[in-house]
Amino acid sequence: MTSFSGPPGPSGGPPPFPPSGSPPPVPEGWRAEWSAEYKAWYYVNTATGASTWSNPPNNAPLPPSGPPPYASASYPPQPNETLYDDDEKSSATRGLSPKLFGAAAAPLLGRVFGSHHSHHSPPVPEHSRPTSAMGGAPLYIHAACFCDADVTQKIRVMVTPQQTLSIRCDSLTFHFGDPWPNHRKQFSVLYSYGQQPWQLVTSVEGPDTINLHPIHPVDNARASFVQSPNNRIVAMVWGTKNALADHPENTTGRNAGMKMMEVEREGRFEASNAWMGFDGLPNTEKMAVVYYRNQDGSIGVLTAREGETLRLPWNAFSGAI
């Protein structure tokens, strides 16, 4: 069993905690939250979700900001010159209300059952949207997975100042190591440009090259991986194909909507051609990869190798040993 419960602090140890004592007093409609990264309090407008480093009683009202494409969780503002910190993080800027998960889900987050692999990382804020060096839309890497390894941060540092990304799929193990030797491994990246819809690109070790560029239009096939923000599931990949699309070769009679309902309700599924209803990568031992919204709004990643059972945090047996 392999469990990933979030990145360590910058020093490699546990993240810093807020200082002892009560948080600073705030007026009605605001709350104070501690930023472990910056070791400082920040203040969140509970009505708008906007955040500021200045204590509201001593500052004018926050200027209005354009809404993100999905409902935002609240996170500390960040300097404009950096988009991500140095930890392995997945963005949560479009997370959902905890009401959608239920109180019972909270203690299960980040815990794993069986042999599937989970990655649960803090979010990246969207309040402060940096612009690229060329003035174009910034490239946001929300999460990325190579086989069953979370490679989000490694992909982020590969983004150029021009907000482009180019990676050859015959060099994936050079960049990310080999988490599953003697197997042809899958690769996927969940990303967006500025306020554009989220997209997910998938590939597999081989001669292909993934190129992301701000002038490229939204790819409908990539965007179709990403589910409605009302769902806990962001995207599901089987092999290199969309597990939540209706494929002509579907053999089970379970359509995409039925699969989504089952996973949302039960929080589990079998990583198999039989459950999926199609073969997402013929003649290859495959991975099932699920990008999902955590209760705190962050994007989590769970993977299962073919033949395993993947259990999401809201599954009743997710925390069983």
pLDDT attached to residue 176: 97
pLDDT attached to residue 70: 41
The number of helix segments (H) and strand segments (E) in the chain equals 5, 17
CA 317 to each of CA 108, 109, 111, 257, 276: distance values in angstroms, whole numbers, following the listed order? 9, 12, 10, 24, 21
pTM above 0.85, yes or no: no
What does pLDDT average to in each consecutive run of 10 residues of the chain (321 residues)? 36 47 77 74 74 65 39 43 43 36 39 44 42 72 96 96 97 97 98 96 98 96 95 97 90 86 96 94 97 87 97 82 41
pLDDT attached to residue 43: 78
Q: Which of 112, 124, 165, 174 is nearest to 146 (CA)?
A: 174
Q: Using an 8 Å Cβ cutoff, are 125 and 182 in contact?
A: no
Domain boundaries, the chain: 98-311
pLDDT attached to residue 125: 45
pLDDT attached to residue 36: 67
pLDDT attached to residue 41: 76
Q: Using an 8 Å Cβ cutoff, are 158 and 194 in contact?
A: no
